[in-house]
Amino acid sequence: MSTWKTLLTNVASNAEEKFDQLSDRLRQRLGSDRPLLIIPYNGYATAEHLTLRARVLQDQGTHTATDHDSRWDNLLNTYRHIGSREVAHAIIRAQLGEYTADFTANDEGYVTIQLPLDQTSEVFSTWLEVQLSLVDESLAEPVTAVGRALNLPTTAEFGVISDIDDTVLQSSATNYLRAAQLMFLHNARTRLPFAGVAALYQALSADGRNPIFYVSSSPWNLYELLTDFFDFQGLPAGPLFLKDYGITADQFISSGHSKHKLTQIEEILAAYPHLPFVLMGDSGQKDPEIYAEVVAKYPDRIRAIYIRDASADQRDLEVKAISEQLTADNIPTLFAPDSLSIAHHAASLGLIPVESIASVWIEEQKSTGEQGGRGAGETH
């Protein structure tokens, strides 16, 4: 890191830390402390250990989305998610079976929990549950949560690593004004998936046999909104790898989009060294370039790559060139206009049953009709 950037990062980090400390003292003096929460993020398990992340926050009064929420309700709820107040250095006790260990959160309230799996009898479950609790004698009431970690089925044939924005969720990520409108004025029930994507991902998942990992540059503050969206739309549950946009002494705001995504993909590949993967992304940002870099480093790990068309014509030429090169390198790659095209290609490779194509087609037709019925002002 250059000298000026190091200086700027240190100044910003110190300023943020001082502001947080001052805010905490002020709230304590005014008696306005809010209840605390542990927000667990879906993790994953290997043969040796379980890994999941969590964050300790003050309760900002967020609520689960409903069909009756107004745009003002959505704006306020999203603001509360994004404006969350972290609790630095909190101690979380994690229990899996008979095994218990304590972990300390960092300055931003995040904690990474790793537990060995050879001391529990629950390793045959698809999802392992970890009991989490805050270790703080000053608490009037216990603060607890249940974390979940995906345990790879022994019958898994491959895994899926998928982007979220403009791959699963209509986000207009390259149009910042439109993306902000979608984020702030809509919720998990009014945001739209791409037509047919739920049926496609269910087919790839094969009733949970093949794990799906979601990797995105969206902030961790939106985790609950995204998981609510997945649940409401019928998308397979899976671990999420999102991004911390905080300022620390080591980074100014955060690492770049490409570096973050590549790092998370490499973590997943390292966790399951014998499992091949299908990569799902879009052409709006840098997914094609990132996936090409993954193939260059791990050529024997990738079964197929699917890039959803979410870009203008000039960008399309670049993506087509990358796709053609990957295909020439024996990595089946499709630059696809829709979920149905992906389904046909995936079926030809044996990634999904041929019968699943009909399910994707039916869902596409249904989604297209519903979105058209809402009108242009309500669909995006």
Positions in the chain short of pLDDT 70: 1-33, 59-84, 119-124, 172-190, 246-257, 369-380
Tell me the C-alpha distance between 143 and 364, whole Å.
Answer: 43
Question: CA 303, CA 158: separation in Å to the nearest integer?
Answer: 8
Q: How far is CA 162 from CA 42, 59, 115, in A?
A: 15, 30, 26
Q: What was the pLDDT predicted at 108?
A: 92
Instruction: Encode pLDDT of 32-52 as tens digits.
Output: 467 899 999 999 999 899 999
**Closest alpha carbon to 86 in 66, 60, 120, 109:** 109
Q: What pLDDT was estimated at residue 221?
A: 87
Backbone angles phi, psi at 130, to 5 degrees: -115, 125
**Class of residue 308 by CB neighbours under 10 A (exposed 0-12, middle 13-18, buried 19+):** buried
Match 């909104």 to its residue by tokens: 225
Q: Rounded to 5 degrees, what angle do the CA atoms 250, 252, 256 make?
A: 100
For 214, phi then psi, to 5°, come to -105, 120
* DSSP characters over 151-209: EPPTT---EEEE--BTTTB---TTSHHHHHHHHHH--TTTS-BPTTHHHHHHHHHTTTT
Q: Supply the angle between the helices 197-205 and 356-374 in degrees, to the nearest 10.
A: 150
Q: Which conformational region is residue 212 in: left (phi greater than 0), alpha (psi within -120 to 50 degrees), or beta?
A: beta
Query: CA-CA distances (angstroms) from residue 62 to 57, 65, 131, 134, 225?
Result: 12, 9, 23, 20, 10
Torsion of CA 189, 194, 196, 199, to 10 degrees: -60
Residues 115 and 129: beta-carbon distance below 8 Å: no
Per-domain boundaries in the chain: 34-151, 159-379
Tracing tokens 């009108």 back to the chain, one arrives at 375
Closest CA to 17 of 94, 112, 86, 95: 86
- Topology at the third CATH level for domain 34-151: Immunoglobulin-like (2.60.40)
Strand order across the 302-308 sheet? 240-243, 212-219, 159-162, 277-282, 302-308, 333-336
- pLDDT at position 375 is 38
Gap between the Cα atoms of 266 and 340, Å rounded: 29
Residue type, 110: Y
Cα dihedral 211→165→215→252 (10° resolution): -170
CA 204: distance to chain centroid? 18
What is residue 292's three-state secondary structure?
helix
Q: Which two tokens stand for residue 41?
A: 């993020």
Place of tokens 């014998």: 274
- Helix (H) or strand (E) holding 41, with range, is strand 36-45
Fold of 159-379: Rossmann fold (3.40.50)
Please report, for residues 19, 45, 201, the alpha-carbon distance to residue 13 in angstroms, rounded to integers and kept in the order given. 10, 33, 40
